[in-house]
């Protein structure tokens, strides 16, 4: 079915957009690399060719103390104009439209990057920054407002089609608005109207500086998700004040970086925060933009048709697939490489001071070096193993023109993606599997399931090259009693080969153990829908329903070391562990295994022995590379080893797909 509302043009001020999908702002860090701004321009131009209605850049600092350091985009000097023009020129050549985001981090700015002490409305330290900010004086506040205005003028001179004022996510403007971060008692703080003054003055000054016809978007916080912060009533009044100040559209941000509520991780349901944008839309008459966990244009179509927002902002989905809009316009939905909201290569990289990429699309950040070129000679290539590494290798090899045969010993493709997609909150991995199935079918890749590859058979069939992507073998630690009948391996649980009891001890506490715990906590005999039906027609009472439900599992995660959840991403680990804690999972660290008994696991902790009672003991203590085929082929054929078969360790789809993409380009 074709999309209608998504592709209905809309105006932001004087700027007409051909569709209602905006590529939201992201810091990607390409500026730090050699020829960085040109890399950034190439990145944005590719999204423009993919038909993004409007692109918003990552934040460009309006003052040095509010930015991310010299290598990043800045807009506080006249000499910043020409480098920025590289971006607008390439985007316009690609027939796109782009807005520059005017940015000041306030107390979130890091002195290690900027060389300056961070500044804020009040000298209150952010929990995510080791440096306490100093309080802005009244004169400095005036200078900062003027800096936003002058930055907007420079953006206009550099050829940007619009600007977006960053007033969300806990950055400086948001810090002035919130009573949590603004405890001043002068004209810039105190009651709501004085706390709102800074943001409104920035909006007015920018409008005056660029004139009445230049489009301005204000990214405002729709909900801070910080205790005792701005109320929804105040937020809606603030939205009206921004409209009066001359803003052309409001982009609704969700949450602060220090918030203890996940807002964009995979565990967040799709479209979970559209209701916030809807409330703002009902309070103003200018266009309102919804965002957060919207990764499918069909989903966006429903939001727009229901009148819940006027535009939809997608950020990370444009990392996963720069052609998402074009493919959706052509109703090629199954060909979209959908963002799975894992954060592992985008936000995790940025918060680690690395360049952003994408787990499902490692081409991000490598656009110039990795342009796909046809193979000089067409070869018959075997890819052994259909996990993420093998699937990506097969896709890239076939795109380049090779004849590719995928050989997989099991009856389905996906490898350990099939484990991940079972875990509650990780259903998005189904999208990655759907993408590969579609692409390999489109490219004519032969897939042989239930087939065990051998060196003799591969050589006999005449393959010119073999890619070994056979993954890992679960490691069996040397603990007395590990061979008892109630001791099973994590792969047996995921594959449904064993029955798991009501008390469980997991040997290991890494990412795979966390996934197992989430899976085992979801053990419904009847679905909520069935329970509602039984209650509505009085077939069973609430008590009867509860009696049908199994008693909650008691799960222990055991680790010799100090840290639980190693291997999980930096920006999601805290939320995963907090969720497990709320569900009663007990995490026991800094202990030693004495032995496994029929009743559980005997451990020693601080020189005291303790029996962890468990009906089932699950071993999730890492893995070893399944590389026997690689070694068997080394002296017989041209062979490459990738993914877990090359390097074991924590299950890592990011590294696996990167490996597959790399090998696909060198054969």
**570 near 578, Cβ under 8 Å?**
no
Q: State the chain's maximal CA–CA distance in angstroms.
A: 83
**199 near 189, Cβ under 8 Å?**
no
- The tokens for 565 are 């959840």
How is 111-158 classified by DSSP, letter by letter?
Answer: HHHHSS--EESS----TT-SSPPEEPPHHHHHHHHHHHHHHHHHHHHT
**DSSP-assigned beta bridge partners for residue 605:** 608
Separation CA 567–CA 557 (nearest Å)? 15
- The tokens for 126 are 């952010």
- Three-class SS of 584-598: CCEEECCCEEEEEEC
- The tokens for 336 are 């979209």
CB count, 10 Å around CB of 136? 24
Q: Quick check: helix, strand or coil at residue 87?
A: helix
Q: How many CA atoms lie within 13 A of 151 on its CB side?
A: 31
Catalytic residue among 44, 72, 171, 593: 171
CB count, 10 Å around CB of 414? 22
**602 near 595, Cβ under 8 Å?**
yes
- The tokens for 174 are 């948001």
Separation CA 465–CA 46 (nearest Å)? 32
Separation CA 653–CA 569 (nearest Å)? 12
110: nearest Cα among 429, 457, 351: 351
CB count, 10 Å around CB of 89? 14
Distances (CA, A) of 164 to 168, 456, 551: 11, 61, 52
Residue 437 backbone dihedrals phi, psi, to 5 degrees: -60, -45
240: nearest Cα among 179, 284, 291, 295: 284
Distances (CA, A) of 181 to 10, 67, 225, 258, 517: 36, 19, 13, 12, 37
| Cα torsion 54, 57, 61, 67: sign | positive
Separation CA 237–CA 231 (nearest Å)? 10
**DSSP-assigned beta bridge partners for residue 167:** 220
Q: H-helix or E-strand containing 91?
A: helix 81-93
Beta strands 15-17 and 10-12, pairing class = antiparallel
171 is catalytic: yes
Please list the active-site residues.
Answer: 171
């Amino acid at each position: 079915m074709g999309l209608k509302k998504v592709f209905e043009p809309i105006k932001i001020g004087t700027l007409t957009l051909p569709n209602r999908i905006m590529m939201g702002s992201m810091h990607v860090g390409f500026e730090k690399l050699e020829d960085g701004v040109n890399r950034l321009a190439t990145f944005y131009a590719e999204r423009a060719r993919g038909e993004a209605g409007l692109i918003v850049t990552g934040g460009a600092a309006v003052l040095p103390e509010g930015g991310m350091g010299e290598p990043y985009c800045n807009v506080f000097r006249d000499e910043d104009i020409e480098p920025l023009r590289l971006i607008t020129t390439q985007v316009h050549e690609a027939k796109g439209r782009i807005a520059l985001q005017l940015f000041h981090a306030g107390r979130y700015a890091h002195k290690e990057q900027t060389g300056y002490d961070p500044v804020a409305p009040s000298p209150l330290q952010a929990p995510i920054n080791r440096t306490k900010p100093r309080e802005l004086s009244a004169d400095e506040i005036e200078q900062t407002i003027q800096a936003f205005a002058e930055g907007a003028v420079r953006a206009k001179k550099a050829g940007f089609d619009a600007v977006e004022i960053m007033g969300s996510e806990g950055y400086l403007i948001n810090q002035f608005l919130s009573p949590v971060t603004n405890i001043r008692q002068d004209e810039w703080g105190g009651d709501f109207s004085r706390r709102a003054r800074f943001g409104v003055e920035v909006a007015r000054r920018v409008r005056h500086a660029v004139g009445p016809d230049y489009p301005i978007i204000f990214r405002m916080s729709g909900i801070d998700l910080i205790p005792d912060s701005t109320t929804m009533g105040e937020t809606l009044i603030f939205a009206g004040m921004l409209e009066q100040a001359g803003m052309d559209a409001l982009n609704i941000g969700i949450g602060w970086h220090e918030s203890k509520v996940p807002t964009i991780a995979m565990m967040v349901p799709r479209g979970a925060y559209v209701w916030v944008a809807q409330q703002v839309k009902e309070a103003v008459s200018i266009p309102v933009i919804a965002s957060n966990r919207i990764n499918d244009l069909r989903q966006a179509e429903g939001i727009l048709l229901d009148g819940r927002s006027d535009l939809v902002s997608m950020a990370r989905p444009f990392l996963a697939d720069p052609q998402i809009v074009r493919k959706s316009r052509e109703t090629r939905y199954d060909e979209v490489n959908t963002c799975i909201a894992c954060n592992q290569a985008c936000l995790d990289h940025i918060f680690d001071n690395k360049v952003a990429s994408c787990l499902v699309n490692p081409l991000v950040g490598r656009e110039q070096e990795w342009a796909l070129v046809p193979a000089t000679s067409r070869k018959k290539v075997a890819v052994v193993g259909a996990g993420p590494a093998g699937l990506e290798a097969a896709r890239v090899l076939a795109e380049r023109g090779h004849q590719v045969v995928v050989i997989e010993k099991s009856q389905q493709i996906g490898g350990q993606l099939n484990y991940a997609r079972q875990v509650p909150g990780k259903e998005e991995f189904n999208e990655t599997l759907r993408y590969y199935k579609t692409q390999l079918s489109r490219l004519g890749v032969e897939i042989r399931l239930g087939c065990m590859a051998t060196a003799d058979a591969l050589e006999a069939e005449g393959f010119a090259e073999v890619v070994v992507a056979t993954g890992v073998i679960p490691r069996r630690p040397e603990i007395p009693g590990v061979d008892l009948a109630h001791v099973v391996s994590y792969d047996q649980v995921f594959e449904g080969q064993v029955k798991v009891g009501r008390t469980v001890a997991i040997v290991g506490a890494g990412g795979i153990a966390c996934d197992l715990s989430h899976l085992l906590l979801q053990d419904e005999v009847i679905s909520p829908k069935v329970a509602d039906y039984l209650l509505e027609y009085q077939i069973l009472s609430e008590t009867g329903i509860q009696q049908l439900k199994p008693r909650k599992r008691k799960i222990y995660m055991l680790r010799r070391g100090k840290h639980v959840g190693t291997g999980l991403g930096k920006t999601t680990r805290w939320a995963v562990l907090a969720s497990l804690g709320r569900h009663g999972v007990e995490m026991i660290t800094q202990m030693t295994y004495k032995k496994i008994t029929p009743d559980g696991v005997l451990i020693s902790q601080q020189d005291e022995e303790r029996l962890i009672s468990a009906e089932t003991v699950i071993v999730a203590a890492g893995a070893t590379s399944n590389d026997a085929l690689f070694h068997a082929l080394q002296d017989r054929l041209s062979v490459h080893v990738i993914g877990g078969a090359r390097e074991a360790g924590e299950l890592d789809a990011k590294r696996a797909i990167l490996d597959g993409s790399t090998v696909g380009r060198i054969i």
